[in-house]
Amino acid sequence: MNKRILRKIFWATALVLLLSVVVCFLVIYGITYFSKHDFIEENMSAYNERIENAGNIEELEDAVGSGEGLMYIGVLSSDGTLVISNRELEEENIPVKDSEFIQKVKEKGTVNRLEKMYSGSQSMLIVYVAIENPALDDNGFVVVAYGMDMNFNDGYFWLAVTCCIAGWLIIAAIAYAIFTNYIKDEVIPLEKIQIMLENFNKGNYKPVKYEAKYTEINKMVDNINEAAQKLSDTVTDLKYEQSKTKFIIENVAQGIIALNKQNKILISNDVVAEIFDMGANIVGVPIDYLIKDEKVLSAVYTAVEKGENVMAGEIAVADNYYRVDCRIVGDEMFDEFKDIKYFVLITDVTSEANLAKMRSEFFFNASHELKSPLTAIMGFSELLSNPDLSDENRAKCAADIHESSKRMATLIEKMITLGKLDSAQYAEKHTEDVDLRKTCEDVLKRLKIIADSIGVKMTCEGEATIKADSNQMFTLVSNLVSNAIKYNKENGKVTVKLSETDDSVTISVSDTGIGIAKKDLPHLCERFYRVNSAHSKTSLDSNGLGLAIVKQIVDDYNAELKIDSVVGKGSEFTIIFKR
C-alpha cells in the first residue's frame, strides 16, 4: 500500500511540475507580449502624428525612417499593398495583402496580430493602426503596421525561464518530501488496519498495536480493535456451542434427522449413515429413501399434518430393529431455521426386541419342558388311584413319578439359576479367593457315579485360584463336566485342566466324546437349544440350559469362552478369566 501511494504521489508531483513549466512559459510569454505591446503603444503615437501629416512619399519616408530600428514600421495602402517600411522585405514576407483586413482595421482603429515577418523567423507582435491621410491614398486612409520581435532571444528571458523552472523544481521536491514523510507517518497505521481487516476475512481477530500522530486515527484503530475483540469472543462462543452441539449429536446413540416441509433431509448425524449404510452427506434425500415401511411413513406424515409428536413404529434394517419417533418443531424453536419442519429420531431397540423374543421363546420352551414330566406325573398318579393296580405296577409308577419329579426339579433349579443371573441379584455377588482345584474335585466326586456307569474316567490337572463367587464357579464347572460325560463314549475320558498367569486364569474341560457339528456351534449357548440327545450315554437328560448358564456366568465376569470340537473325536471348552 505504501509503495502504491508513493508511486501515485511521484507521478502527481511530476504532472504538477510539467504543468508548472507550461504555466511558466505562458506567464513569461504573456509578460513579454504585454511588455512589447506597451512599448509599441508608447512609441507609435509620435509616428502616427508624422504619418498623418505626411503629404507625399518623401515625407512618409522621413516619418517612418530607414534601416533597422527598435521596431518594425510599415505603411499599407487601403488595398493592402505595402507602401513603405523601415526594413527591406521580400514580396512573400509582406504580412498583409488583404483589403478586407484593411477595412476591418479601419473600422476598429487598432488590431493586434502575431505574424511571421521574415522567412524562418519567429513570430512578431504587430499592431495595425488606421490613420486618416487622403494625400497618401485615394480612399483617404492608410494602415501603419508597428512590429516587435517575439523570438525571446534576449538573455533576460531565458534567465527568467531558468529561474522559474528551478523554483518549481524546488517546490516539487519539497512537496514530494513532505508527502513522503506524511505517508510514512500516517499511512503505516492504515496499512496495519488493512492487514487487520484482511486477517478478519481469514478468521484471525488479533488486535493491532500502533500509535499514530493523529488522535482520529488512534480512535479508529481502537474502535476496530474493540470490534475485533468482540467478534473474536462471539466467534469463540459460537464455535464452542457448535462443537458442543455437534459432539452431543454425533455421540448420542439415536439417529437424528431434521426434515423440511417437502420431507427432505436437512441435517443428519453419523448414526443415521451407519444405520442405513449411507454416505456421510445425505442432505436433500427424501425420508422415504431411508424408511421403506409404508405404515411407519404414513404415521410420520399424519403426525406432521396434525402437528403432533408420535411414536411412528418400528422398522427392521438388516438384523437390527429401530423405533421411529416423530417430533414436530414448534414456532418458537429454530426461529432462524424456518426450513426445519420436524425431526425423526431413530432408536436402536434390537436388544429389547431380542430380549422380548428370548423371553417369549424361554417361556414357551420352559412350559414345553415342564409339560412332559408333569403329564407323566399326572398319568402315573391317576394309575396309582386304581385299587386294582398290582404292587409291581404301583412300584413302577411311583418310580416314574419320582424320576419325573427329579427332572422337573432339575429344570426348575436351572431356570431359577438363569433367572438369578439375569437379574440384579448377582450384581453384588460375594467374591472370595476360590481354590479351583478343590472346586473341580468336588464336582468330579459328585458326578463320579454317573461317569462310572458308562466307564468314563475323569481327571483334574493343574492348580489355580480366582477371585469369584464360589457357587458360580461350582455351577460353571459342574455344567461343563456333566455335558462332557453326557455326550462321551463308553470308556471315554474327561479332563479338567487349570492354569494361571499374572494376567489370566484358565479352565479347560475336554472329552473324547461324539463331538459337535459345525452347524450347532453358534447355537450351543442358546437357551433350550439341544444337540441330538439320542447319542447321550447317561441318564442325564438334556434340557438345553446348562451351556446357557455357563455363558451367562462367563459374560458376568467379562471372561472369554472358546469351543473347539471335532465330530467323532471330542470337544474342548476353554474359559479365560482376565485378572
For 545-572, how does the pLDDT look when each residue is reduced to its tens digit (9 = 90+)? 778 888 888 888 889 999 998 888 899 9
Do 454 and 537 form a contact (C-beta atoms < 8 A)?
Answer: yes
Q: How is domain 354-420 classified at the architecture level of CATH?
A: Orthogonal Bundle (1.10)
Q: In this structure, is the dihedral angle defined by the CA atoms of residues 325, 330, 334 and 340, taken in order, positive or negative?
A: positive
Neighbouring CB atoms inside 10 A of 86's CB total: 20
Residue-level pLDDT at 536: 47
- Reply yes or no on whether the pLDDT at 152 is more than 60: no
State the CATH class of domain 429-578: alpha beta
Q: Greatest CA separation found in the chain?
A: 199
Please count the residues of the chain: 579
Q: What is the pLDDT of residues 289-337, one digit of tens each?
A: 888 888 888 888 888 888 888 888 888 887 788 889 888 876 555 555 5
Tens digits of per-residue pLDDT, 398-431?
Answer: 776 766 676 666 666 666 666 666 554 444 567 8
Which CATH number describes the domain made up of 2-156?
3.30.450
**Is the per-residue pLDDT at 438 higher than 70?**
yes
What's the pLDDT at 387?
77
Q: What percent of the chain has pLDDT over 90?
A: 11
DSSP string, 62-83: HHH-SS--SSEEEEE-TTS-EE
Position 538 scores a pLDDT of 46
- Residues 462/497, Cβ–Cβ less than 8 Å: yes
- The upper half-sphere exposure of residue 9, i.e. CA atoms within 13 Å in the direction of its Cβ, equals 20
Q: What's the pLDDT at 423?
A: 57
* 1 — pLDDT class (breaks 50, 70, 90): very low
Predicted confidence band at 535 (pLDDT cuts at 50, 70, 90)?
A: very low
Mean of the per-residue pLDDT values for the chain? 76
Number of neighbours of residue 275 by Cβ within 10 angstroms:
18
Using alpha carbons only, what angle is made at residue 151 by residues 146 and 155, rounded to the nearest 5 degrees? 120
Question: For the residues 512-531, what does the mean pLDDT come to?
Answer: 77
Q: Count of CB atoms within 10 A of residue 63's CB?
A: 21
Position 82 confidence tier, pLDDT thresholds 50, 70, 90: confident
Every domain of the chain and the residues it spans:
2-156, 252-348, 354-420, 429-578
- Position 19 confidence tier, pLDDT thresholds 50, 70, 90: confident
Average pLDDT over residues 109-125: 70
Q: Which is higher by pLDDT, 510 or 34? A: 510
At residue 537, does pLDDT exceed 50? Answer: no
Q: How many other CB atoms sit within 10 Å of the CB of residue 137?
A: 20
Look at strands 265-268 and 570-578 and give their pairing: unpaired
Query: How far, rounded to the nearest angstrom, does the alpha carbon of residue 16 sit from its chain's CA centroid?
Result: 52
Contact between residue 48 and residue 156 where contact means Cβ atoms under 8 Å apart: no
The model's pTM: 0.39
Question: 157: Cβ–Cβ under 8 A, 6 or more apart, which residues?
Answer: 28, 32
Look at residue 119 in the predicted model and tell me its pLDDT: 46
Task: Select the more confidently predicted residue: 490 or 118.
Answer: 490
Per DSSP, the three-state class of 268 is: strand
Work out the average pLDDT over 47-73.
78
- Which DSSP symbol is given to 95? S
SS3 347: strand
CB atoms within 10 A of CB 460: 21
What letter represents residue 564's amino acid?
D
Stretch 106-135: mean pLDDT: 77
- pLDDT per residue as tens digits for the range 498-517: 999 999 999 999 999 988 88
Pairing mode of beta strands 560-566, 570-578? antiparallel
Judge contact between 429 and 557, C-beta under 8 A: no
Q: Do domains 354-420 and 429-578 have the same CATH topology?
A: no
User: Which region among 99-113, 221-235, 463-477 has the lowest average model confidence (pLDDT)?
Assistant: 221-235
DSSP for 296-339, please give it: HHHHHHHHHHHT--EEEEEEEETTEEEEEEEEEPPTTS-TT-TT
pLDDT digits (tens, 9 = 90+) for 374-397: 666 666 676 677 777 777 777 777
Q: How far apart are CA 436 and CA 547, in angstroms?
A: 19
Identify the CATH class of 252-348. Answer: alpha beta
Residues in Cβ contact with 383 at an 8 Å cutoff, skipping those fewer than 6 apart: 389, 393, 397
- What confidence score (pLDDT) does residue 183 get? 65
Instruction: pLDDT band for 577, please (50, 70, 90 cuts).
Output: very high
- Please check the confidence at residue 472 and state whether its pLDDT lies above 70: yes
92 DSSP assignment = G
Residue 89: helix, strand or coil by DSSP? coil
Range with lowest mean pLDDT among 53-57, 188-192, 484-488:
188-192
With 70 as the cut, is the pLDDT of residue 79 above it?
Answer: yes
Q: Tell me the pLDDT tens digit for each residue of 212-251.
A: 666 766 777 777 777 777 777 777 777 766 665 566 555 6
- In three-state form (DSSP H/G/I as H, E/B as E, the rest C), the secondary structure along 161-194 is HHHHHHHHHHHHHHHHHHHHHHHHHHHHHHHHHH
Residue 539: its pLDDT value, please?
42
Point out the least confidently predicted range of 142-146, 289-293, 367-371: 367-371
Which residues lie across from 316 on neighbouring strands?
321
Range of 186-190, 240-244, 439-443, 513-517 with top mean pLDDT? 439-443
With bands split at pLDDT 50, 70 and 90, how would you rate the model's confidence at 78? confident
